[in-house]
Structure 1
Amino acid sequence: MRPADQGSGTVLALGLIAVSLVLGLALAALSSAQGARGQAQTAADLAAVAGATALQGGWDACPTAHETAERNGAVVAACVEQGDGVVRVDVTREATGWAGALGTARAAARAGPASAR
């Protein structure tokens, strides 16, 4: 080994550690973003079901959907009564932590009686 080559293994090891750290952080951010997407979908599903249930009971669907989404940490972006007792709800949910850099999680759901396919 030439004297100029001494310490080159340390530089290579540090480079590999840095790459591993960056990949680990990226995977953590993607995992967190996927979790936020799942939570947004849950909020959308629950809001749509609550809105459709309210509609069948003679109440306005969208205020109920808004309240249900808020209680599940989401914000209703759109709420539409599509007729025949069907309600469509679009929600957004802010991702937290590293996933916040990836943007906002969005989800949509549609609910109503089985006869209204």
Structure 2
Amino acid sequence: MAGTALAAGVLTVAATLSLGLAVVGGAAVTAQRTAGAADAAALAAADAVSGAVATETDPCALAARVAAASDATLSHCRIDGLAATVEVKSAYAGLVAASRARAGPPEQS
């Protein structure tokens, strides 16, 4: 009887740890996907501003479309000359991942 209770306890702890690790792993993957979405959105906006991509769409609207294609939401977009700075957010299991990216010519020192 004691062995059965011990085995049940060990299985409960193992299941809880496995679930926790799965959530942490999923959050890490979401953070990386969010960073990629931010990079792509910033590049799209900067390309639209510089004329590298022929579009009549507002650069921030284009960045929002690119972010949405990665299941993320554009929360901030700023165009400064030929540079674009964006912030993108996405959620996983109640956790929100946010990432910022900048694209454009190098900043002047």
TM-score, normalized by length of structure 2? 0.86
Partner of 1:79: 77
Give the corresponding residue for 2:25.
31
**What whole-Å deviation, never above 9, does each CA across 1:69-89 have from its counterpart, x for those lacking one?**
1112111000011x2411111
Task: Give the Cα–Cα distance (whole angstroms) in 2 for the partners of residues 94 and 17 of structure 1.
Answer: 30
Percent identity, aligned pairs only, is: 33
Gaps of 5+ in 2: none
**Greater radius of gyration (CA):** 1
Which runs of 5 or more structure 1 residues have no equivalent in the other structure? 1-6
Query: Structure 2 residue aligned with 1:109, among 92, 101, 107?
Result: 101
Which residue number corresponds to residue 62 of structure 2?
A: 64
How many angstroms does 1:104 deviate by? 1.6
1:49 matched to which residue of 2?
A: 43
Count of aligned positions: 104
Q: Note the aligned Cα RMSD (angstroms).
A: 1.6
Q: What displacement does 1:61 show?
A: 2.2
| Segment drifting more, 49-58 vs 14-23 | 49-58
